[in-house]
Structure 1
Amino acid sequence: LDRAPEAQRLTAYDEDHLADYIRLLDTDDEGADWRDAAAHIFGIDPAAEPERARAMHESHLARARWMTEVGYAYLLGPRAIE
């Protein structure tokens, strides 16, 4: 997907991309250029597809942040969500 899910619950896509979310959070924390992150994590060339690369990076980084605030509870089980 070019855009990360926006569902208010954990999705199969989220589970499949947890490593990408962690990598995005790490690169953002390190101050890495978003273009480098998009190229390495998503395998997209930001010079060739700048709008697509930026949208992918932004939506997935937003989802990664959501995972740290809300989504992680779904990984912990029903009691963590209540």
Structure 2
Amino acid sequence: MTKCRFDDHAPDGPVLTPYDDDHLSDYLRLLDAEEEGSDWRETVVALFKIDPTAEPARAERMHASHLARARWMTEVGYAHLLGHRDALKR
């Protein structure tokens, strides 16, 4: 699977998307960074390759949007992922 570039906004719908599937490991990186207490600006540089000084609004939006989606994945999305994977096995 080829990793696509990041959209400025992560999906926010109630179902898993191909974008989510492409970025599962990135969502985990975001959650890990938050758990470790990393500065969101450092995370943006490392993950999205965006300079938060040059593009502060965009960087903050991207971080917030993708972190929200990462949290959704831990609360709801994982069930869709498991169901999707089970359906593929049949």
* TM-score interval, normalised by the smaller of the two chains: over 0.9
Structure 1 portions without partners, runs of 5+: none
1:60 aligns with 66
Instruction: Give a deviation string over 1:22-57, Cα, whole Å, max 9, x none.
Output: 000000000000000011011111011000000000
Structure 2 portions without partners, runs of 5+: 1-6
CA distance in 1, matches of 2:42, 2:25: 17
2:54 aligns with 48
Q: CA deviation at 1:75?
A: 1.3
Q: Does 1:72 align with 2:78?
A: yes
1:16 aligns with 22
Q: 1:8 is paired with a residue of what secondary structure? A: coil
2:45 aligns with 39
Q: 1:28 is paired with a residue of what secondary structure? A: helix
Q: CA RMSD in A?
A: 1.2
Taking structure 2 as the reference length, what is the TM-score of the superposition?
0.84
Number of residue pairs the alignment of both structures matches: 79
Identity %: 63
Structure 1 residue ranges (4+ consecutive) displaced by more than 3 angstroms after TM superposition: none
Aligned-partner residue type, residue 17 of structure 2:
T
